[in-house]
Amino acid sequence: MTYLDHAATTPLHPEAIAAMSAQFGLVGNANSLHGPGRAARRVVEESREAVAAAFGARPSHVVFTGGGTEADNLAVKGLFWARREQDPRRVRIVAARIEHHAVLDTLFWLEQHEGAELTWLPVEPDGSVRPESLEAALAPSPETVALVTVMWANNEVGTVLPVPELAAIAHRYDVPMHSDAIQAAGHLPVDFTASGLDAMTITGHKLGGPIGVGALLLGREVRLTALQHGGGQERDVRSGTLDTPAIAGFAAAATAAKADRAAEFKRLSALRDRLIAGVLAAVPDAVLSGPPIDGAGPGAALGAAGTPAVPDRLPGIAHFCFPGCEGDSLLLLLDARGISCSTGSACSAGIAQPSHVLLAMGAGEDLARGSLRFSLGRTSTDADVDALLEALPAVVTRARAAGLS
């Protein structure tokens, strides 16, 4: 199998497996006062410290959740409700249409059921958002805004957004900002405190941890309304018995990702650039999505940490549109050859829809339907790229023939 879908989920890191295995044979609820409970609590709190250290936060900022979707919902709904309770005028949410569905569908739900008013930031053709567009959205009536939410890096095309600059603008207008940093967290030097964010979402399975655990990094002074109620285990904003083995695995993966990040950034950037060049050579009319690879992107001007100060593209994502093809057809034809990737399309009621990210970037519907994302990770090799480049020309030819029939 050639696995090129690391942005969907990436293999467990050996250190995460070891950390979880050490807990599976033990018993103890981290909120129990007896010995086994205290032992579980110690694992949870040491893990909280490790996650905080990996992402430039304090342990008190870390609210463990059941994954990224829960953390996004908690941040967006919780901030909206808390701000509206403080001031009923604050019903506007400022966002961009390139968000992951965990944020995007939460926004639509708040609009439909809670009276939220959505203000959409314009998206550049490369998938970015300009800071001046946020200024323009906030300046006329900041007193009506509940929050700003803009992702740190896009999960489809890999564009890195200027989150610290956006957060600084939001704060000038006394507006809290949340960012979904799920794709960025394993690959970029994501620093919660330095970013100026009020809330930030991360998850385990995108960086070598287990599925089913994530965290919301939440400023200590930020008011948040809880989504679910019960024991109030996590700062009274997230109730539920903590999954000690999963949290231990999450912390181990986050620590390993931070230690390997600089070297992996260089390695994956080079592998990604080779993949991009190979695809464009094999299918000359393929269209690369996101920022161009022209020597001025993330491979240039490396800083002391080994990564660019302001990279414009994630090191492991290469997204293309193939004119005359359906993305689903390409995906299945590649899958039949043992190559796993993903399509930029979302399926609703069995009907393929063009990627909302590409449409927001200005792509036409026909082009947006023929998109594929190839994403690399810790286990990716040159052999994976070779396998794709060998299979792709025949797959594209067959997909185009099927589209004409």
Q: How far is CA 29 from CA 89, 93, 204, in A?
A: 42, 38, 21
| Helical ranges in 55-188 per DSSP H | 68-86, 101-114, 131-138, 163-172
**How many C-beta atoms surround the C-beta of residue 381 within 10 A?**
12
Rounded to an integer, what distance in angstroms lies between the CA atom of residue 179 and that of residue 217?
10
105 burial type by CB count under 10 A (0-12 exposed, 13-18 middle, 19+ buried): middle
Which stretch of DSSP H or E encloses residue 39?
Answer: helix 35-54
Q: How far is CA 157 from CA 79, 125, 165, 174, in A?
A: 28, 11, 21, 31
Rounded to an integer, what distance in angstroms lies between the CA atom of residue 322 and that of residue 286?
5
Task: Taking the CA atoms of 387, 393, 394 and 397 in sequence, report the sign of the dihedral they define.
Answer: positive
Rounded CA Rg of the chain:
21
325 labelled catalytic: no
Question: Helix, strand, or coil here: 96?
Answer: strand
Q: Are 115 and 178 in contact (CB under 8 A)?
A: no
Question: Helix, strand, or coil here: 70?
Answer: helix
- Residue 135, φ and ψ in degrees, nearest 5: -55, -45
Angle, CA 191 vertex, CA 11 and CA 199 arms, to 5°: 90
**How many C-beta atoms surround the C-beta of residue 26 within 10 A?**
12
The active-site residue out of 321, 325, 341, 347 is: 347
Among 138, 141, 145, 146, CA closest to 83: 146
**How many C-beta atoms surround the C-beta of residue 383 within 10 A?**
9
What are the beta bridge partners of residue 65? 214
Q: What is the pTM of this model?
A: 0.93
Which stretch of DSSP H or E encloses residue 384?
Answer: helix 382-404
**How many C-beta atoms surround the C-beta of residue 359 within 10 A?**
17
Rounded to an integer, what distance in angstroms lies between the CA atom of residue 152 and that of residue 405?
41
Q: Are 214 and 229 in contact (CB under 8 A)?
A: no
Domains of the chain: 2-8+261-404 (3.90.1150.10), 14-254 (3.40.640.10)
Rounded to an integer, what distance in angstroms lies between the CA atom of residue 45 and that of residue 42?
5
What are the beta bridge partners of residue 373? 319, 342
What was the pLDDT predicted at 404?
63
Angle, CA 324 vertex, CA 319 and CA 328 arms, to 5°: 60
What was the pLDDT predicted at 301?
30
Angle, CA 162 vertex, CA 158 and CA 165 arms, to 5°: 170
pLDDT tens, residue order, the chain (405 aa): 999 999 999 999 999 999 999 999 999 999 999 999 999 999 999 999 999 999 999 999 999 999 999 999 999 999 999 999 999 999 999 999 999 999 999 999 999 999 999 999 999 999 999 999 999 999 999 999 999 999 999 999 999 999 999 999 999 999 999 999 999 999 999 999 999 999 999 999 999 999 999 999 999 999 999 999 999 999 999 999 999 999 999 999 999 999 999 999 999 999 999 999 999 999 999 999 999 886 433 333 333 344 444 569 999 999 999 999 999 999 999 999 999 999 864 444 355 688 999 999 999 999 999 999 999 999 999 999 999 999 999 999 999 998 765
